Structure 1
Amino acid sequence: MRHLALACAAALALAAPAADAHQGVQISSEECGFSTPYDVRIGPSGLALTREDGAPSEVLIHDGVLRIDGAALATGAADALRLRRIEAGARALMPQVAAIAREAVDIAFDAFAAVIEGMTGSTSRIERIQEFRASALARVDASLGDGVWDQDLFDEAFAADIEAAAEEFAGSMVRSALWTVLLPGGEGRLERRLAAMEADLDTRMEARADELETRADALCEEVAALHALQESLEIRLDGGAPLRLIEMTAAPAVAAAGQDEGR
């Protein structure tokens, strides 16, 4: 039973670094204390926001013009300028989010590769890791990289790529670890290998994860600025309601600092 427990511990060690890399920086609209019910598409026709539930269901912002469910709303010069700034800010934000997502993928799969090589001393499985990495990066490029943010679908797919890799390699890692502990002195070697691998990964990955989190935090200031511009809009929807594309879910410092922008 102790042999099996050590083998299972090795398999868990494989999944943990990548899971930590994924959880360390959430690719989520709520990460900065803001949220949006909309999916976002940015292209030549402008900044398009859509949702299945709630009203308005479609919002299009382009070159200072606002369309709500297909109908253009009259805007003054000040609001037209704010709308242009909102569109420009969203266009600038999306590539940065895509870059953060790509780095999170790289951290996760670098951790996988390090664990496999550290546990087995073999690089033969690294090619398969690169296939998983390429698939995950292609998903980022086809969504965020192309100006498309379908938040629920993206979050699910992002986690699924990592989980699929962990499941595929966990079995082979259990077999490799079990073979090691069955050899004379194998238990001690496996325990030392696991301890050394954990320490090495902590050193190498923690700095990268911290840097990535710092980059993600910096984007929160840009999100807060977009929220402040939205709050300063004089446009009102039918019934007198203000336009609400971004909602504040908490009161982060960056949100408080950006409240006066655009007023």
Structure 2
Amino acid sequence: MHFPRFAAASMLLLSAAPLSAQDLATTCHATSSYDVTLNADSVVFDRATPAPSRVEIQRGLLRTDGVTVRLNAENQDRMTLFERDLRALAPRVRAVAQNGVDMAVQAVRAEASSMHLSAATRAELDQRLSDHARELKQRIAASRSTHDWNGDAINQYANQIAGDLMPLIASDMGQQAIDAALNGDLQAASALRDQAAGLATQIQPRLLRRMQALRPQIQSLCPSIEALSELQEGVRTSTGQPLDLIQTKQ
């Protein structure tokens, strides 16, 4: 998806929400074909295909596609620990994601400071970024399912943020171009128009480089994810398949 002008900012805010699968795959070499939901009394993994499409873990009990799996004592303990450790990991993931939102906002503000925006535009931009960051962090805190961060939901929210930020930045840069033209500086006017037109492609790599500072925090989650992967080893579904909720590759 390509957004014009300053829409890269909205994607950077959302890149922190709650740690995309790409972040974990790249940093922790961890992937899953499932979405996961933390209910009050159970943990549910679900996907469209292949079977099993629904795996439920509840205090040492395991159900796959509605069928209770007969587990020996060791595997019951494994599932109990898996659920406990997954629940313990969730607030840590949220904390890193919220730190990522703060970092993204700082990166956007730093980039905006080089655009020579008017004082009024800078103040308005700062307020809007703060509002979006606060809302996004609230959504992260309330989220209990990866379904909240799937493609359509992310894209819709990104479009909302972009729709709020883009006109503000475009208007200011457009006014700068007009002022330059009125002052007879046609070269500056042309450069400003080119900068506005290519802003998304210019700013996104710089913002992403700034966000690399979040990587150590993501790395701190990797041992716990690896431990979850190890806990599922040897456990099988009701049809005899390996459970395979999380895949890790070192």
TM-score by length of 2: 0.71
Corresponding position of 2:226: 224
1:30 to 16, 25, 29: 25
SS of 1:75's equivalent in the other structure is: coil
Q: Structure 1 24/95 Cα, relative in aligned 2: closer, same or farther at 3 Å?
A: closer
Q: Give how far 1:130 is off.
A: 2.3
Q: Give how far 1:87 is off.
A: 0.6
Q: Structure 1 213/124 Cα, relative in aligned 2: closer, same or farther at 3 Å?
A: same
Corresponding position of 2:244: 244
Corresponding position of 2:200: none
Does residue 69 of structure 1 match 2:75? no
Q: Structure 1 180/113 Cα, relative in aligned 2: closer, same or farther at 3 Å?
A: farther
Does residue 41 of structure 1 match 2:37? yes
Does residue 172 of structure 1 match 2:171? yes
State which drifts further: 175-184 or 42-51: 175-184
SS of 1:129's equivalent in the other structure is: helix
Q: Give how far 1:164 is off.
A: 3.8
Structure 1 portions without partners, runs of 5+: 1-10, 195-200, 253-263
Which amino acid in structure 1 is aligned with residue 20 of structure 2? I
Q: Give how far 1:179 is off.
A: 4.6
Q: Give how far 1:135 is off.
A: 3.0
Which amino acid in structure 1 is aligned with residue 230 of structure 2? A
**Pairs aligned (count):** 223
Q: Map of 1:140-219 to 2, 5 A cutoff? A: 140-143=140-143, 147-150=144-147, 151-153=149-151, 155-156=154-155, 159-160=158-159, 163-179=162-178, 181-182=180-181, 183=183, 187=188, 209-219=211-221
Distance 2:95 2:156 in 1: 17
State the Cα RMSD in Å.
Answer: 3.5
Structure 2 portions without partners, runs of 5+: 196-202
Q: Give how far 1:209 is off.
A: 3.0
CA contact (8 A) 1:37 1:245 kept: yes
Q: Give how far 1:61 is off.
A: 0.7
CA contact (8 A) 1:66 1:72 kept: yes
Distance 1:19 1:180 in 2: 30
Q: Structure 1 113/165 Cα, relative in aligned 2: closer, same or farther at 3 Å?
A: farther
Corresponding position of 1:134: 134
Q: Give how far 1:93 is off.
A: 1.7
SS of 2:150's equivalent in the other structure is: helix
Corresponding position of 1:261: none
Distance 1:110 1:229 in 2: 38
Corresponding position of 1:8: none
Q: Structure 1 92/156 Cα, relative in aligned 2: closer, same or farther at 3 Å?
A: farther
Distance 2:45 2:57 in 1: 9
CA contact (8 A) 1:65 1:72 kept: yes
State which drifts further: 45-54 or 177-186: 177-186
CA contact (8 A) 2:128 2:165 kept: no
State which drifts further: 39-48 or 17-26: 17-26
Between the aligned residues of both structures, percent identity stands at: 24
Tell me the alpha carbon deviations over residues 174-213 of structure 1, each in whole angstroms, 9 at most, x when there is no partner: 22432564447894xx99xx9xxxxxx9xxx889734411
Which amino acid in structure 1 is aligned with residue 146 of structure 2? W
Q: Structure 1 44/79 Cα, relative in aligned 2: closer, same or farther at 3 Å?
A: same
CA contact (8 A) 2:13 2:105 kept: no
Which amino acid in structure 1 is aligned with residue 32 of structure 2? T
Distance 1:111 1:246 in 2: 32
SS of 2:228's equivalent in the other structure is: helix
SS of 1:30's equivalent in the other structure is: helix
Q: Give how far 1:83 is off.
A: 0.5
CA contact (8 A) 2:118 2:172 kept: no
Q: Give how far 1:173 is off.
A: 3.5
